[in-house]
Amino acid sequence: MINAFYSSSIWAMEPSLITVETDIRNGIPMFNMVGLADITINEAKERIRAALSNSGYKFPNKRITVNLAPADVHKSGTGFDLPIAIGLLSYNDLNEGLDDERYEMLEYIKKNFAFIGELSLSGKLVSVHGALALALGVRNAGVKNIVVPAANVDEVKVLTDINVYGFSHLNEVMDFIRGDLDAEPEDRKVIKKRNTIKRSENFSQVYGQELVKRAITIAVAGHHGILMVGPPGVGKTMIANRIPSIMPDIKYDEMLEVAKIYSVSDVADINDVLCYKRPFRKVSSGITESALFGGGNIPKPGEISLAHSGVLFIDEFAQFAPSLIEQLRGPMEDKVVKIQRRKGVFTFPSDFMFVAASNPCKCGYLGDDTRECTCSAKEISNVASRFSGPILDRVDIHVRMNNVKFKDLKNYNQVPDEETKSSEDMRREIDRALSMQKNRYAGEGIVYNSQMSESMIKKYCVLHEKEKRFLENAYNVLKISPRSLSKVVKVARTIADMEMSENIRVAHISEAIGYRALKEFYREKA
């Protein structure tokens, strides 16, 4: 007799609905598991055998075959324990004594419910890794009900279009299926929006860096990458930490996509993103390749995927290994991370806002007007080489930061609040630009200016003769690459949007070009 119950599995980032088929026949007792199951699933045999025995059930002493269909999809994880156990119990314990009404109920459950859960040896349901991602696979396949361990309920019930049932023991699940236990789906979890602008994280606390705050505003408004270069202590990290306070609110579908990434990750708390707050991931130069990009035998997402739909902040950029810096080029351009393994190619989303900060040299004071740089020409050249042309071409905005004047320090000079831009002020400017972009790109499949293709640039960044001549002159004099030229035009488009201007003017282009002067800075200091 064959019984079939739905479950779910996730491979890399793609969840799939899995049908757990159980066949029990007379013959030499054995327990075979087929359907591209990895070792974590094969180990379920002994867990299930003990769980059934310790829960008061008789383990079928027969020839057992469990098939996880479709058979050509890789499966991993411990969440198949529960549906396999139910399939085995369906042979005797579930079918005996069922009247027509209960039999119809069982058939309804087979078609409309999915089961996910690991079993302890005592029969208790243990939380599974990646429950939200697994539930998304069920939902996307059109199954409207899911049974999960009680410990996973809080994570899964954020989904608004699937009924979630939570149980603590195998016996409870069996009683529910038999109709001996009335259970109602869990109430939907209302995700409360966390206040994104706190006093301690407000740009009003950043003094004397109004030009940099202007660049940050432009970067967020158009989703442009930004690199801040300046001496120690001028506020680079302080500014980066406050970027989430001015970013547009994350949408529900975006939040679920990010939550799915966090759900399958071993290094992050899913509650960090289930609050309508965009991710902010800070990485430093000691990070490994696998931690940054993702890795493992069966790869898990790295930091750049955990920053999806949010901010990836790379501190002390020039201290990173050149190999790591150059590997960033692909994800920054393609918005995905691809990791190749013997078992296949794993793809993780990585559409983040790139933010980096760096000292200009080893001592940190190159170009500073308050302290003299003590680095040799070779040391300066070594640091400058970390800012390679291909990387700089992919970062839309480069901004130089200088030391703050004493007179600009509010704490000591009682500078009025209105003289320094707050997060609220910057957010209003950003919202204006976003409204322009929303109307412009309706139906285009993009949201931000930075996402424009070359054909879109031609369509939405039409320049008049005066602007064309100015841009051509800058291109020839500054020896701008074609890729950098596209970046300049996209940033100019964002600047124009912030001023609610349909046309890109010379002033907009000039400001955009001013944000790409890092190469010239090092050329002057060489």
CB contact at 8 A, 316 and 361: no
With tokens 């998304």, the residue in question is 136
Low-confidence ranges of the chain (pLDDT < 50): none
The closest alpha carbon to 348, from 334, 363, 360, 358, belongs to 334
> What pLDDT is attached to residue 522?
81
> What pLDDT is attached to residue 57?
92
> What pLDDT is attached to residue 200?
62
- Contacts (Cβ under 8 Å, ≥6 apart) of 183: 165, 167, 176
Which tens digit of pLDDT belongs to each residue from 399-414?
A: 999 888 777 776 655 5
Residues spanned by CATH 3.40.50.300 within the chain?
199-428
Residues spanned by CATH 3.30.230.10 within the chain?
2-178
The closest alpha carbon to 299, from 117, 74, 81, belongs to 74
> What pLDDT is attached to residue 417?
56
Domain 199-428 - what CATH class?
A: alpha beta
DSSP string, 173-238: HHHHHHTSS---PPPPP--PPPPS--GGG-GGG--S-HHHHHHHHHHHHHT--EEEE--TTSSHHH
Instruction: Return the CATH fold of 2-178.
Output: Ribosomal Protein S5; domain 2 (3.30.230)
Q: What are residue 328's DSSP bridge partners?
A: none
* Interatomic CA distance for residues 88 and 197, integer angstroms: 53
